[in-house]
Structure formats: C-alpha cells, structure tokens
Amino acid sequence: MNPIKVSTAQFENRSGDKAYNLSVIELLAEKAAAEGSSVVAFHECSITGYSFARHLSREQLTAVAEMVPDGPSVHRLIGISRRHNIAVLAGLFEKDKDGKLYNTYVCVDEEGYVTSFRKLHPFINPNLSPGDSYCVFTLRGWKCGILICYDNNIIENVRATALLGADVIFMPHVTMCTPSTRPGAGFVDPKLWENREADPTTLRMEFDGLKGRQWLMKWLPSRAYDNAVYVVFSNPIGMDDDQLKNGCSMIIDPYGDIVAECRVLGDDLCTALLTPEKLTRAGGYRYRKARRPDLYASIIGKEHQPEQKVAWLDAKRD
C-alpha cells in the first residue's frame, strides 16, 4: 500500500433537502481534491438529513429514501467523484425492491459505485430495518470498512471489521449534544449557534465539554488504538432538525492519536496522510495477534436478546 491522503468533512445539512446537501458535498469534495486528497467522507445521512426522520411515517420515510445504487443521489455522487477525481462516501435512507428501509452509507469513485453498508443498529425511526453483514472493501489500494454511528459503540463490530481485514474504518455519525444517563450530557441551546459569531467562546465550551467532545474522547480513540486501524470520523455541525450538533470531524491513527480535526464553527474539512507502517507498528497490531479465542469464543458468541434504548429520542427541551 502507498500513503494516501484522506479527508473528513462536516457541514450543516438541511432536512430532506437532497439537492442542497449534495451541492455542499460537491463544494467540500472539490476543496478536498484541491488539498490533494484521494478520498472524502461525510456524515451519516448527509444527503437526506437525519434527526427529522424520527417524525416520519413509513410512507413519508419511503418518499425520502432512494434505491441504492440506482437512485439519483448515488448517480449524483458518482458525477461529483468524476468531476473532482476523488472517491466520495456519504449517507442516505435507502429503500429496496421489497419496500424495506435502511440507513445506508455509500462509497463511489470515478469508475462508479463501489459499495454500500446498511447500519446494523438503526433507531431513529421504527420502520428502518437493520443491516445483516459487515462491509470490507478495497479503496485506493487500502482495505476499508464502514460502521455507522451506534454500530461503533458496540465494540465487537469494530473488532470484527478489523479482523475481516479493514485498515481504515469510516465512521459516519450524527452524535453528541443529546441527553443521556451519563453525567454532563444534554442538548446545546440553538441560540448559542445563532450567536456564534458574537460569542464563539460559550458555544465552544458547550461543544468541547461533556455534552460533546469530552465524551467522544472517552471511547473513539480506543477503537483505533485497540484495533490498530485508522478511524475516519464524520459528524455534522449546526442544526440537524431541532438538534444542534458540534462537528469535531476527525481522523485518528492506529496509535489512537488525532492527526486531523475540524475546529471551525461551520462547514469545514480536514485532511491527513495515512501511512501503512503505522498499521503494524501500533500496539493494537500485537494485541490482535495475541488473542486467545479458545477462552472466550463461546462467551462472546453466546445468544442473547439485543436491547437498545436511546434517551434523546423521547427527550424534550426545557
């Protein structure tokens, strides 16, 4: 493998406005290409918007969703990739020929559609079906995987994707700044976003505190460190429906170190050089080789009934 430049982006999407969101995706893809990047990644449901889907009926969600790979948004992504000579990863709601609905993340390049991944643990709308498989593919000579948002909080998903050969895991999210049982969690007041030019300090304190970045730092670097993989984390900034998101899109290397991060209070991207030697020099590479599945295969694989409760779905603002 040769070193490769990869970019991750953040932007304020508009709910259900695919034309607008794709126009911003193109602007940021063009910027990433100008920085010499070969790949640019965007957040979960960056094409369609995300949080507004919790209000939609099956019929309304179906109207927003598209076929993959034959829908118009995937074709538009391919056009963006060809015009700017850069691979693009972005998310949307998918519908299949049987009428099932998914939260899906798509990768395209200049040659066309590369792959897609369906979120394993969807919860924003009860009409979404979960994906049933992992995704590992080759992009620009690198083995890559995809896990969407909550998928990454279940640590087995990250380890499984790494064991399947992924050296880079794209982790598109719509996360942070929502209520939880953990101390310090909660919404961030949208008025702070509206006043961000006059008072960026107060907003940054909220974004970087326990509601946002401090929580992310509790676990995200460990996913890269424990598995000796590059993590490409993408997250929106600004209003997503009625919820304010804090961006922090970043790239983390196999040592668990942040090598690039968006720090602008607005649409932005950052770029990092990924080098293959880190993959085998990092501690996680040795840890994976030292595994003893004979001790715990039956424990990890033991049947159980999955449970999932997301506090912010029912939370109300004061």
Report the mean per-residue pLDDT for the chain. Answer: 96
Whether residue 318 lies inside any domain: the answer is: no
Can you tell me the mean pLDDT for 243-254? Answer: 98
Q: What is the DSSP string of 32-81?
A: HHHTT-SEEE--TTTTT-SGGGGG--HHHHHHH-B-TTTSHHHHHHHHHH
Q: Which residue has the higher pLDDT, 169 or 1?
A: 169
pLDDT of the residue at 33: 98
Structural domain harbouring 101: 4-313
How do residues 83-111 score in pLDDT, each as one tens digit? Answer: 999 999 999 999 999 999 999 999 999 99
Closest CA to 124 of 216, 211, 55: 55
Q: Which two tokens stand for residue 262?
A: 């968006």
Closest CA to 44 of 150, 127, 135: 150
Report residue 255: phi and psi, to 5°.
Answer: -80, -5
CATH of the domain at 60: 3.60.110.10
Whether residue 178 lies inside any domain: the answer is: yes
pLDDT of the residue at 317: 57
Give the separation between CA 158 and CA 146, rounded to whole angstroms.
9
Whether residue 193 lies inside any domain: the answer is: yes
How do residues 2-26 score in pLDDT, each as one tens digit? Answer: 999 999 999 999 999 999 999 999 9
Whether residue 77 lies inside any domain: the answer is: yes
How do residues 130-188 score in pLDDT, each as one tens digit? Answer: 999 999 999 999 999 999 999 999 999 999 999 999 999 999 999 999 999 999 999 99
Angle in degrees, CA 71, 92, 25, rounded to 5: 90
Q: What is the DSSP string of 137-198?
A: EEETTEEEEE--GGGGGSHHHHHHHHHTT-SEEEEE---SSS--SSTT-----HHHHHTTTT
What residues contact 159, with CB distance under 8 A and at least 6 apart?
226, 227
Closest CA to 40 of 76, 10, 12: 10
Q: Quickly state the pLDDT bin for 315 (edges 50, 70, 90).
A: low
Closest CA to 247 of 231, 265, 230, 259: 265
pLDDT of the residue at 306: 85
Whether residue 97 lies inside any domain: the answer is: yes
pLDDT of the residue at 308: 78
- The total domain count for the chain is 1
How do residues 189-208 score in pLDDT, each as one tens digit? Answer: 999 999 999 999 999 999 99
Cβ-contact 46, 25 below 8 angstroms:
yes
How do residues 37-85 score in pLDDT, each as one tens digit? Answer: 999 999 999 999 999 999 999 999 999 999 999 999 999 999 999 999 9
Can you tell me the mean pLDDT for 265-289? Answer: 98
Give the separation between CA 81 and CA 92, rounded to whole angstroms.
17
